[in-house]
Structure 1
Amino acid sequence: MAVLNEEQTMLRDMAREWATNESPVTAWRKVRDANEPAGYDAAAYETMAQMGWTGIIIPEAHGGSDFGWLSLGLVIEELGKTMTASPIAAASAAASAILLGGSEAQQAKYLPRIASGELIATLAVDEGPRHDPASIAASVKDGKLTGTKAFVAEGDTAGLFVVAATDGLYLVEAGEGVAVSRRHLVDFRSHAEVSFDGAPADKLEAGGEGLRDAVLDRAAVLAAAEMLGMAGQAFDTTL
């Protein structure tokens, strides 16, 4: 078990108090019953941004707090306990790709907007029904990306996609050449099929050949933190 410093303990306790009082399971049920494509409460996410949670892994130079991955995991674990739906995990995973592989210009363009909560970013990797990042057909020619991604988390509201292509990761903004189709899943969270047809793409040149795997490792950690919160709460409830 990790030993928390004073700041991490305060952050965890603040997240626990907020999730318990302001975003209980009943709040998620309201989001679910509303059946909106976003799959989360935009006002609640704005509050998270105001508390600085959307910029926990982002450097101070780009508007974040640079508290690190353990701190982010603590927050997401607490949100998992009340099943709080938000794009914070998806956006943070996408931000990690820009941090690890982005140029100074790319970081300056996108990280402050992710940190402020203004921009929802997400990863677009898998192209089939199972997680298989080794099977990628999406490709880029002359700066234009073509391909289809399945089950893109927060794809319905994302303004920026970090897309896995045959030769690396690319930044693609929602809009030109991007079509989003909503998927209806049992958990009612936002997962979309996203098709790219000659969409303008900007490659993440840094990070080397291991960039994609490094980003996916971080995304997996965030998913595990959320599931840990859910499992822990389920266990406590049964006692």
Structure 2
Amino acid sequence: MMTTFSRRGLHGHVVDVLGRRIMRGELVSGDIIDQDALLTEFQVSRTVIREAIKVLTTKGLVDARPRLGTYVTERERWQLLDGDVMTWRSEGVPDALLVLELSEVRQVLEPAAARLAAVRRSDEECAEIQAAMSALAATFASTEAESHVKADLVFHRAVLAASGNELLARFEVVLEPALHARNELAFENETTTHFLDSHQAVVTAIVAQDADGAHAAMQLLMNQSARDSETIVSTDAAGAALVKERKQAL
């Protein structure tokens, strides 16, 4: 998992703790944040607390009003694409909505990235994708989910980077925490042969500079990932209801 800026230093620790509380619903929209209580809890200076509040404000999580003080904002104002916010949402018990929305975003972006990669990839980028595929396959010799997750992230980052589009390449910073959450949950139920064959089809098409084939192979991979995500989220009643609601909205 990436180390985010918010976790550095004293004020970073305060930001991290408060950010997690907001994402977990321990602090909800409208709740007042008592800065005097934070001074006692964290045993830091008022300057540290002010700096932490400033960071949370830039992420849209808190704001201040005269005579009201600092409060947690409504969800519509949260910077959901911020790396820290994504990390907080994906840690611990994953946010079901995040897992489903990630699948939808990947279904839109990654097939297009694979198409571009097939056309634009350099020999070096092609070699990196092949190496990432080999490393991913090797992780199935272990039952350790962490190594599998890391290897899968490296593979998808390599494809995004080979697209030749800087915005797509940078998007992996946002995807990493959420992919980590999804893959850790899915690893135990992964069918090795199907999983590797699906990834290898993407590699083969990119190496052959087959743009249509790369798009189609990645689309199949993303569709399977979406089905896996729905299965994961549907393990409880609330998650199953969310899946049903989103399907009915299509």
Which range, TM-score by smaller chain?
A: under 0.3
TM-score where L is the length of structure 2: 0.26
Higher-helix-fraction structure: 2
Q: Which has the higher strand share?
A: 1
